Amino acid sequence: MPSSWAPVSWRLPPAGAASLALTRPAIGRTCPSSPLITGLNAPYGLALVEGQLYVATQDALLRFPYREGETRITTPGVEVTSLPSRINHHWTKSLAAGPDGSKLYVGIGSNSNVGERGMAVEEDRAVIWEVDRQSGMRRTYASGIRNPTALAVEPQTRRLWAVVNERDELGPQLVPDYMTAVRPGAFYGWPYSYWGQNVDPRVHPQQPDMVRRAIRPDYALGSHVAALGISFATRPGLGPAYAQGAFVGQHGSWNRQDLAGYKVVFIPFANGRPAGKPQDFLTGFIKDGHARGRPVGVSYDPVHGALLVADDLSNSVWRIAPTRR
């Protein structure tokens, strides 16, 4: 990570809260926050396109007018489309705008670990939707993708990427969570197989035809690291080593004696593809075997050359930037 950096923190609403908080970054001090929008049903994904703020709650994709500098939005949101919310085993709905802003992409997680509730409740689950921003019309862009917790567009190729939380209870070393470019129409195996065509023996009835369709993701992040954020570096503001690649927030494992994740990693890219092993960028969230922070969303700020990291255990946002001399 950079040889010197300055953390800045400010308070966040608790996970699943009904409001969004507005914060103002500042160097070397804690920043105040105030509600930007209230009355929401567990907001998670955000996208700002042409003066419109899109918010993915657990049951709807909403649109709000936004002007730069506003600190409060009281105009009721307009529903772009409803989102699947029955049972909501994985309730978070990730969101990203496409490269030209005409389409929005919504990640919708599965309603179970490996289909144990029956596949009827998995309709429109474990998918990424492509939503037309103007009409609200949508289509399934990719499927069999268990829990796509964060989405982002890689700036060089303008392709959509996702970080995905894979299945549990196959042991501490299986199954790797992953990062992948999302191919239109692709099937990523859930629940019938993992990491391509490795069959999950717990799923009944088996579906060999679906397993044969399953494609292998692009990049393994490690088993149970619980990646919840992805953001691409677009300028060398954090130094030349971090000029091209993806920052990934790893929330951390709940089912391993040797804790995995609990950090932010950087994955170097070349020509729009991963080009090296993940590098620890922000650590120190574990002390004496106990978590004192858990990274969630990450966002690279190309204007100020900084990385913002949301932490839902300490209820803070951290700002990491080189010390200016």
Confidence of residue 29 (pLDDT cuts 50, 70, 90): low
Give residue 158's pLDDT.
Answer: 97
Say if residue 263 is exposed, middle or buried (CB neighbours under 10 Å; 0-12, 13-18, 19+): buried
Confidence of residue 15 (pLDDT cuts 50, 70, 90): very low
Looking at residue 169, its pLDDT comes to 84
Q: Would you say 253 and 234 are in contact if contact means Cβ atoms under 8 Å apart?
A: no
Average confidence score pLDDT of the chain: 89
Contacts of 134 (CB under 8 A, 6+ apart): 102
Contact 15, 315 (CB under 8 A): no
Identify the pLDDT of residue 8: 38
The model's pLDDT over 205-239, given as tens digits with 9 standing for 90+, comes to: 999 999 999 999 999 999 999 999 999 998 888 88
Lowest mean pLDDT among 14-23, 267-276, 292-301: 14-23
Radius of gyration of the chain (CA): 19
pLDDT at 226: 93
pLDDT band of 301, cuts 50, 70, 90: very high
Residue 98: per-residue pLDDT: 97
What contacts 293, CB < 8 A, 6 or more positions away? 262, 284, 285, 311, 313, 314, 316
Task: Give the SS3 label for residue 209.
Answer: helix
pLDDT band, residue 131 (cuts 50/70/90):
very high
The mean pLDDT of 25-42, rounded to a whole number, is: 78
The better pLDDT of the pair 104, 32 is held by: 104
Among residues 53, 47, 49, 85, which one has the least CA distance to residue 66? 53
Tell me whether the omega of the peptide bond preceding residue 208 falls within 30 degrees of 0, making it cis. no
Distance (Å, rounded) from C-alpha 310 to C-alpha 229?
Answer: 9
Helix (H, G, I), strand (E, B) or coil at 194: strand
When pLDDT is cut at 50, 70 and 90, the band that residue 22 belongs to is very low
pLDDT tens figures, 68-122: 989 999 999 999 999 999 999 999 999 999 999 999 999 999 999 999 999 999 9
**pTM of the entire predicted model:** 0.90
pLDDT of 83 reads 98
pLDDT at 10: 38
Provide the pLDDT for residue 13. 43
Residue 30 pLDDT level (bands cut at 50, 70, 90): low
Q: What is the pLDDT of residue 179?
A: 98
Would you tell me which CATH number, out of the four given (2.120.10.30, 3.60.15.10, 2.40.160.20, 3.30.700.30), belongs to the domain 41-223? 2.120.10.30
- In tens, the pLDDT along 149-201 reads 999 999 999 999 999 999 998 887 889 999 999 999 999 999 999 999 999 99
Confidence of residue 324 (pLDDT cuts 50, 70, 90): low
In the chain, where are the structural domains located? Answer: 1-34+225-325, 41-223
